[in-house]
Amino acid sequence: MIVQEPIQVIVWDCLNNYEFDNAVFLAERLHAEVTSEETAFLLGTCYYRGGRVNEAHHLLQNISLTLPQARFLLAKCSLELKFYKDAELALGTKDTVASEFGEQAPYALHLLAKVYNITERRSKAADALRKALSLNPFMWKSFTQLCQMGEKVDPNSVFQINNTEFTFGVSTLVNLVSNSENISFVNSNISNNSNLNSNVTPNNIAARTPMTMSTSITPETQAPVKRMHSVFSGMAPIPFSPSFGMLPMEESPVLYSSTLTDANEQKAIPKIVNSLRAHVGQLKDAVFSPGPRCTLGPAPRRSSRLFSNNNSSYSVKENNKSPSRKFVTPKSPSRKNKQRTAKNIKSNTETNERNKSIDTTPTITPKSTNGVPLLNLLRDLGDAFKSLSFLDCKNAIKQFQEISPKQLASPWVQTMIARAHYELAQYEAAAKIFAEIRKQYPSRTEGMDIYSTCLWHLQREAQLSALAQELVELNRNDSIAWLASGNCFSLHKERETALKFFKRAVQIEPEAAYAHALLGHEYAVAEETDKALSSFRTAVSIDPRNYVAWFGIAAVYARQERWKASEVHIRRALAIHPHSGVLRCQLGLAQAALGKMDRALATLERAVSLDAENPLCRFHRASVLLRAGRPQDALGDLHHLKNIAPRESLVYYLLGKVHNKLGNSHLALMHFSWATDLDPKGTGAHIKEGFDPSKQEDTPERSS
């Protein structure tokens, strides 16, 4: 009979060193020899990590799957290939997922929520996401997804480890140890433990018996102080980073500075052992079965073992192929441990023996100490992100500013702040922050589409074209690069090219609602209204909270003078983004056009008070006042505008019309001539064409 496990271990080793082709080859050989679900899962994983999603999907689809891990992988492949039905079949329903997938349940729920979202079952998606969050409070992505869907989530209640449903994945605990320590550890472990599974040939797997991480929870989230052996380090050794996730244990500094010679220190170890005890139970099969949960059989429920002080947890009833692992030796972060191997073994031996004797010591449950600082951070960020998602931008900026300075300087937080400025139409501020981010992280493209839009609004041609060029050079397959290029050419008014680039962006990433919205705007400017409307509708069907698309539809209808429809859509946009001055102005204009002057004036009044920096609110208020037959009142606004923007020709044009209405024809003429001076081709041309102020008092709205 073929011994599978060593080969599996070898394959995992390749995977952990990112040699995917090698891993695929070996896994294929194994699968050819032994066609079982386990080997298929291994091969599928190799394919998936090597980017060969199609093959992974094909492989997993043709066999009946019982392993939850295999089902999860199949679902993931199906989702990427857009086979939503297969994905849903593989995952099950959101009620069964929790029980069937055990530890993987949060991720499976998240995936299931994605499927529900795409197939427009948004309430079910929201449920699934909430469940995922309750199972694993570190699922930040689920939280952001809920916020983006407009669901009310309370960060305070979500980011807590206080519910018993919380399962801590085995793999998440093991990022902390360097490889060489593995070697030493494993050797010693093997020699010490008698209930070693005879399947394993210890020597072969002496070198790092990796276990893939199904998650990549940062080291800070759990017992950071303990340097656990990387029998579980599916990941490449991560140097321990004592950041905010520090376990508040007194000996921690001691431990860090401890060298291997200190490993024999008595005092630190029991505590560490105890706190590890809780985790140990899950690690039972980790050493020799490389898959995260490659147990053939129902995945054991970890949560109960995690939080119960059950020290017999390692002897779990299920397929327990591996020896119980008691090990926790504080390791210094240094990687040059090979030469200390000998010492290591000795210390480990002693540790293990000591461990065996401390069976009854109560465990420090991780939930009370680990991860709490991270959760606090997530809570703060969650509050701020929630404010931003609900477009309460001023609050969001304030909340982001209150984050600790180290996190504040990170590009993600800065991008969020810049986005908040953008939503408030404070393009200058946003552009400045984005420029900083670009300088420090030139290869980061997240949020750069917003940056390009800010530059578009500010009409900074040189910067925008530089940005577009850099992004395209960086990665031609990134839709953000093409959105920036499209914006650049749109600013240059080369519509065809801009459309081409926007279409390219949409082609690369058809699920990006913003790309569709930008394409729609470009169509609208190019006066292809049908295509514009269809693009906007696509954007809205992907993301109903995309107010840019709603505004776009309203603008198209306004252009066609279908004011009723325009008003409806603008209200929709306003419902999403109530603090926006631009949207409110547009609403006021629509109401004025429908003849509801009072409502229009009230709306514009509100706009002016909400958005102090936006001169257009006053401008439109003045124009509506004029239309409503109150030219005198318009004068106040217009004089204010004249002061803050002395070079805007339309202000003078409107002043001219007001004076005309008031009968001050000489003042009117003066203002008209000023307007013409300031902008001979635009306003001036219109004035020349259609208006003779001396002849009539009517506003010259004839088409010439």
Interface with another protein (CB under 8 A): 425, 427, 453, 456-459, 487, 492-496, 517-518, 521, 526-528, 547-548, 551, 555, 558-559, 580-583, 585, 589, 592-593, 614-616, 619-620, 623, 626-627, 645, 647-650, 654, 657, 678-679, 682-683, 686, 689-690, 699-704
| Beta-carbon contacts of residue 409 (< 8 Å; ≥ 6 apart) | none
Closest CB to another protein among residues 355, 683: 683
d(CA 218, CA 509): 29
d(CA 176, CA 238): 6
Closest CB to another protein among residues 367, 419: 419
Structure tokens at 585: 């102005």
d(CA 558, CA 577): 19
166 neighbors 136 (Cβ within 8 angstroms): yes
d(CA 131, CA 101): 13
Structure tokens at 450: 């917003």
Q: How far is the CB of 681 from another protein (least distance, A)?
A: 8
502 neighbors 518 (Cβ within 8 angstroms): yes
Closest CB to another protein among residues 355, 566: 566
Q: How many helices (H) and strands (E) does the chain have?
A: 37, 0
Closest CB to another protein among residues 54, 609: 609
Closest CB to another protein among residues 290, 684: 684
Residue that has been written with the tokens 């009723």 in this structure: 564
d(CA 114, CA 98): 16
Closest CB to another protein among residues 198, 701: 701
Tally Cβ neighbours within 10 Å of residue 281. 23
Tally Cβ neighbours within 10 Å of residue 175. 26
Q: How far is the CB of 396 from another protein (least distance, A)?
A: 18
Closest CB to another protein among residues 152, 702: 702
d(CA 166, CA 203): 37
d(CA 223, CA 589): 59
Helix, strand, coil share (%) of the chain residues, nearest 5? 65, 0, 35
Q: How far is the CB of 473 from another protein (least distance, A)?
A: 23
Q: How far is the CB of 377 from another protein (least distance, A)?
A: 33
Angle, in degrees to the nearest 10, between helices 105-118 and 140-148? 20
Q: How far is the CB of 290 from another protein (least distance, A)?
A: 50
Closest CB to another protein among residues 274, 566: 566
Q: How far is the CB of 480 from another protein (least distance, A)?
A: 15
Nearest to 153 by CA among 120, 131, 180: 131
Q: How far is the CB of 558 from another protein (least distance, A)?
A: 8
Residue 429 Cα to chain centre, angstroms: 23
Closest CB to another protein among residues 38, 648: 648
Report CA dihedral (55, 59, 65, 68) to the nearest 10 degrees.
Answer: -30
Q: How far is the CB of 447 from another protein (least distance, A)?
A: 15
Closest CB to another protein among residues 582, 667: 582
Structure tokens at 573: 């946009």
288 neighbors 9 (Cβ within 8 angstroms): yes
Q: How far is the CB of 683 from another protein (least distance, A)?
A: 7
Closest CB to another protein among residues 263, 555: 555
Residue that has been written with the tokens 């998936």 in this structure: 48
Q: How far is the CB of 49 from another protein (least distance, A)?
A: 38
Q: How far is the CB of 529 from another protein (least distance, A)?
A: 12
d(CA 177, CA 327): 12
